[in-house]
Structures are given as structure tokens and as C-alpha cells.
Chains A and B, each alone.
Chain A
Amino acid sequence: MYELLLDGIQNLLQLKYFVPLAIGTLIGVVGGAMPGITNTMTVIMVLPFTFGLEPLQGLAAMIGVYIGGESGGLITSCLLGIPGKPSSVATMFDGYPMARKGEPGRALWLGIWASFFGGLLGGLFLVGTTGPLASIALAFGPWEYFALFVFALSMVAGLTGASISKGLLSGAIGLVITVIGNDPVMGQPRLTLGIAWLEGGIPFLPVLIGVFAFSQIMSDVEKMGRARHDPARQFVVPRLVVSHVKVIWEILSRPVMLLWTSFVGVLIGVLPAIGGSAANVMAYDQAKKFSKHPERFGTGTPEGIIASEAANNSNVGGSLVTIMAFGIPGDAVTAVMLGALTIHGIQPGPLFISQEPKLAYGIFAAYFLGHLVMIAIMFLGVRWFLRIVLVPKSILFPVILVLCVVGAYALNNTMANVYVLLLCGVLGYALVKGGLPLAPLILGVILGDQIEINLVRSLMTDNNLWLFLTRPISGLLLGASVASVAFALWQHRRAQKKGAVQEDGADF
């Protein structure tokens, strides 16, 4: 396994792979640092550029974006007190106070190095568990796959947002989108309303791009022309010089906390749609609970920065595990990666690691090298990124929308996908305004076809419905689906009693 990883690293060190990785990481850091530009948005922008590349080149670029984005968010969190993205919120709790106390370099580099070490620990988990998990999944029949996908969907629907009924409804809408087009058995058109370009079905990438790009852009557009005060515009870049040996020692001298919070990040990454932001906050919370001085949290304590940043980068490793072992995206970024792979005719899932070892170990290698590249980029350009984040949204948004159109159009060079993008943009915004979470919808769109195919396949093999419950893994997964919804209901009730129901906490 580790020989293959070394081969992968050697392979990835070739310029043709390393350059996309480095550019992707740079774009990720810049995108991550820009408040309001999420990792999903950044990876969507990069997506069309990957169509003309080899699969590994494209994936290296996307993994770079992912890693860079998770780390880039801490720049503005620590120095401006504005989280670059949701997964840097908890970093701000201690990073910004530390910077305000006159230690901006220490705050920033504690976060960067914690991201690096957390990311490496997540990488070890990724390499160590993907293969074994994939071999378990190889024993799955259509009953188990059906149950697994239903479990993933029910978890996302239950754990995102304030209302379980809204989460489940959003997932169901996603499934409805996938039944439009030809049926998978006989190829008979369904629910196409006579529109020719719907006969081929609705590909999930334009749906994903439309739903996310518009819901995020429009949320910002809604606020434009209202806020007058922008602290970023009056910001003066401080001196960021620091002793890296001291900073690294500060992190490594807390091995238990680093390991535990990285594990929390990985675990959350494995769960579909509960990504970096939950990892960031939960790890912070864990570090505070286990600390001898919890009262210091929020005042600029290094533990707060280390825990939150280690977790959001190790979370990337966890997200990659589920997509590589099961073909289920852990979050929106891996959903876009899944789309990029399918464009190249590669289907992630249990067979992926054995059928595409070069690509699989290339992904692992890109993950590890991406963290080194991220450190190098931070060394060279952290001061400049603070300038770039001042680019007005009025310039950024048109460019992003043009790239969204190119991304949708380039999928198969037809306007049909651009129309889907447009319709889904309106749908996504309408759903957000209606209070429905987007994560279950997207997972529904991604898994819908597979759920149908496996349901039909299992029933055509044996029409005994009890098999879904009597086959051990399938029964266990369906039981877990019910349990996850029940848990979400219980959690929701508890939160309601406390009066602390949150709207949408998903990373999709």
C-alpha cells in the first residue's frame, strides 16, 4: 500500500500533475480567504478548467482547491475577525483575539501549521481505511447498496437544518429530479413534459452548480447596497514574522488534543454532508471541554486555534474516504469531484481503488503534497492574499457566473445544461428562501439514479421485500436510517426546548 503511495507521490511530482495541484491550492487559499466565497464555489469555478485535463490533473487541481480552501479561511478569521468561510468560524474565536493582542503572526501560523498536521493525520486515515472499507462494500448486493444510499440520504436529511420534515422533503425533491428523463430499464421517457432536452435526464453537475452558485451569490446580493461598513477595506496588513519552530512546538506539545480533534474532523468528514464547519466548531468545543483552562477559550488561547484548524483539514481526508470507498460524496466539494470523475468515464465506488489504482493513489499523493504546497504558498503570499480579498463582489460575481455557464455548457457542449443551470439556480434560491436545506437535495440528485437502479435490480432478482430487512447489512443500514431520523428528531426537540434551533448547518 505504502509503495503504491510512494509511486503516486513520484508520479504527482511530475510537472504536468504538480502544476495543476499548485495552482488549485493557490486558488483554494485565495477563495478560502475571501469572505462569502465558499470551497464549493471555488471548486465549481475550477471545474470547467479540468474538463480538458487528464483525470488525475483535474483531481489534483480540485484537491488543491479543497486543501487550500480549508486553510485559506483562517487568514481573514485570524487577522480581520471575518471568517473566510463557515469552516473557519471557530478559528476566529481565539485567532482574532490573539491577533488583537499583538500576536497576529502567531495566531496565523498556529492555524496554518495545525491545518498541516491535522491534514496529515486525516491523510493517514484516508490511506489506511479506504481500501478496507471498499473491500467491505465489494460484498454488497443491490439490497445493501439501496440501504446504504437510503442511510446516507436519511442522515443528511435528518442532520441538516432546523426541521427534519424540511430536510426529508428536500431529499425527496432531489430524488424527484432524477426520475425526469428516460427510465433506466426500458428507456421510456418519464415526466419530460414533451421537452426534448429533458429526455436524457438531468445531469447532477448543472443542478449542483446552479443550486449552490445562485443560492450563495444571491444571499450576498440580498445584502448588497445595505451594509456600508466594511472592516476589510480599512485594514492595514500587520507584521506576520514568527518563529516557526516555536509555533510547531506549541502544536506538537499538545499531541492528545491534536490527535483527538483531528479524529473528530475525520469522523465528521466521513458522515455525508456534515463537513468542515461542523468539524471546526465541534473540535473547538471538544478542546474546550477537555482543557484544564476552559475559561481561556475565546480570549486568544492557542488550543482554540489548533483544535479548530486541525479538525477542518483532517475533515477533508474523511470526506475523500466516503467518495473513494462507497461513491458517496462527503460534501459538496467531493460531489463536484464525483462529477468530474464521471465526465471522464470513471465511477468512484468500491471497485475504484482496485480498478484505478494509479488514480486512487494519485489522489492520496495529491492530498499529502497539497498540504506541503499549501504551507509553501502561505509562506510566499499570505500578505498578498489579504489584498486580494478586498476585490469587490461586483467584480467577482459576474466572473463566477460566466464560469458557471462555461462549466455547465462544457459538460457536453449543449445549451440544455445551461438551461438546467438556470432553472436550478432559481429553484435553489427559492428553496433557500422557503427554508429548505440544500444538502439533502443535492445528495438526492446524486444518489437518486443509484437508489432506483438498486431497488429495481433487487426486486427483479427476488421480489421478496423482507430481504431488505433480513439481509444483515441491509437490515442494519435501514435500521440505522430510522435511528438517524429518530436521533435528529430527539435532538431537534431538545434544541427547541432550549430555544436554540439553528437554520442550516450543512456544508453541502
Chain B
Amino acid sequence: MRLSKDGWTGLAVLAASLILFGLTLGLRDNPLVPIGPGFYPRIVLGISAVLALALIVFSLVGRRSEKKSDANLGLVVAVFAIFFAYVGALPYLGFRIATFLFVPALQVTLEFPRTPKGWAVVAATALVTTVVSYVLFERYLQVLLPRGRWTDF
């Protein structure tokens, strides 16, 4: 019997619930408090495990009507990768440099500019986004944006 998409979702949640449930067994109760720290998490994780199991069972016994997706998953992965890199770079490069690199990288990935005007728009968007967000948040809204460990900028 092959699992459907729902079945795999259920299986992933079931596995996570059981692992976390196992971890709650290591939580020690305090003799002064009648309800220990693991009481509520165990209820919640138990419920999620049962529901995940139900989803697996339904997916096995139910009708299967999965449509073939024509989603551009390569682009999704690329966007996630660029965002991961941006978040990873923020503490090292600082908000201004990381943002100035992130915005054009994502723009070019989403829609590759084919004309000099297109490249100018990419550069302008990166510059305006970085400068405006920095000035607005740091200067006027008292939000301190991340400084770079490597750049001190």
C-alpha cells in the first residue's frame, strides 16, 4: 500500500509528536506543584499523535485523487535558499550590506532582467529598499537593525 500526500504529512507529524512526547517523559515534576511541566504537553502531543494517525488511516482507506502539480518548485527552493543565506548573513554582514545584496539577488532570481533598464530597476530597488528601511527604522522608529560582526556596519 502506497502512502498518499496526506499519509506522508500524517507520518511526519506522528513521528515528531512521538519524539517530543518521549522528551516530555524526562521532565521532572516538582513536589510542591500538583501539576508538572509535562502534564499539558503530553495531552497536546497525545492529541496530535492520534490525529496524525487518523490522517494516515484515512489516507490509506480513503479515495485517492491527487492532482499532478505543475508548480515551479525549483524557483521555490531557490527563493528559500536565498532567504536562508540572507538570514545567515545578517549577523555577519549587518542589515545594510546583507539587504543590499539580498534584494537584487532575489529580484534577479524571480525575473531575470533582459535590458539595461531592467538592471537599473534592480539596482534602484536594492538601494531604495536598503536606504529607506534603514533610515526609517533606525532614525525615526527607534528600531535598532542588526550590525555586522565582520563589518561593524
A202 at the interface (CB under 8 A from B): no
B51 and A190 contacting across the interface, CB-CB below 8 Å: no
A168 and B140 contacting across the interface, CB-CB below 8 Å: no
B129 and A176 contacting across the interface, CB-CB below 8 Å: no
B42 to chain A, nearest CB (A): 9
Within 8 A of A (CB), among B99-153: 99, 102-104, 106-107, 110-111, 121, 125, 129, 133, 136-137, 140-146
Q: Interface residues of B: mostly helix, strand, loop or mixed?
A: helix
B141 to chain A, nearest CB (A): 3
Residues of A within 8 A of B34 (CB): 459-460, 463
B71 at the interface (CB under 8 A from A): yes
A191 and B141 contacting across the interface, CB-CB below 8 Å: no
Contact with A along B79-97 (1 / 0, CB 8 A): 1100110110011000000
Tally chain B residues at the interface, Cβ within 8 Å: 66
B44 at the interface (CB under 8 A from A): yes
Within 8 A of B (CB), among A24-48: 48
A165 and B51 contacting across the interface, CB-CB below 8 Å: yes
A409 at the interface (CB under 8 A from B): yes
Query: In the complex, what residue of chain B is closest to A404 when comparing beta carbons?
Result: B83
Q: Answer whether A221 and B79 are a contact pair too, CB < 8 Å, given A166-B55, A191-B23, A398-B125.
A: yes
In angstroms, Cα B79 to Cα A448, docked, is 31
Tally chain A residues at the interface, Cβ within 8 Å: 65
A221 and B35 contacting across the interface, CB-CB below 8 Å: no
Checking A185, A223, A402, A434 against B35 with a beta-carbon cut-off of 8 angstroms, the contacting residue is: A185
B37 and A188 contacting across the interface, CB-CB below 8 Å: yes
Q: Answer whether A49 and B136 are a contact pair too, CB < 8 Å, given A169-B48, A190-B37, A406-B143.
A: yes
Within 8 A of B (CB), among A245-303: none
In angstroms, Cα B111 to Cα A395, docked, is 9
A401 at the interface (CB under 8 A from B): yes
A51 and B87 contacting across the interface, CB-CB below 8 Å: no
B5 and A191 contacting across the interface, CB-CB below 8 Å: no
Query: In the complex, what residue of chain B is closest to A166 when comparing beta carbons?
Result: B55
Checking A186, A394, A435 against B110 with a beta-carbon cut-off of 8 angstroms, the contacting residue is: A394
In angstroms, Cα B144 to Cα A48, docked, is 12
A223 and B24 contacting across the interface, CB-CB below 8 Å: no
Residues of A within 8 A of B107 (CB): 394-395, 398
A179 at the interface (CB under 8 A from B): yes
B133 to chain A, nearest CB (A): 6
B-contacting 9-mer, from A90-98, A320-328, A419-427: A419-427
In angstroms, Cα B87 to Cα A372, docked, is 41
B47 at the interface (CB under 8 A from A): yes
A403 at the interface (CB under 8 A from B): yes
A45 to chain B, nearest CB (A): 11
A residues with a Cβ closer than 8 A to B are 48-49, 51-53, 163, 165-166, 168-169, 172-173, 175-176, 179, 183, 185-186, 188, 190-191, 193, 217-218, 221-226, 392-395, 397-399, 401-403, 405-406, 409-410, 413, 415, 418-419, 421-422, 425-426, 429, 431, 433-436, 448, 452, 455-456, 459-460, 463
Can you report 5 residue pairs joining A to B where beta carbons are below 8 Å apart?
A169-B48, A175-B47, A190-B38, A395-B107, A421-B87
Given contacts A172-B51, A217-B79, A460-B34, 14 further A-B contacts (CB under 8 A): A51-B142, A169-B10, A179-B44, A221-B76, A224-B110, A393-B110, A394-B110, A395-B125, A401-B106, A402-B133, A409-B145, A413-B144, A415-B90, A456-B35
CB-based closest 7 A-B pairs: A52-B141, A434-B9, A183-B37, A394-B111, A222-B71, A172-B48, A394-B110
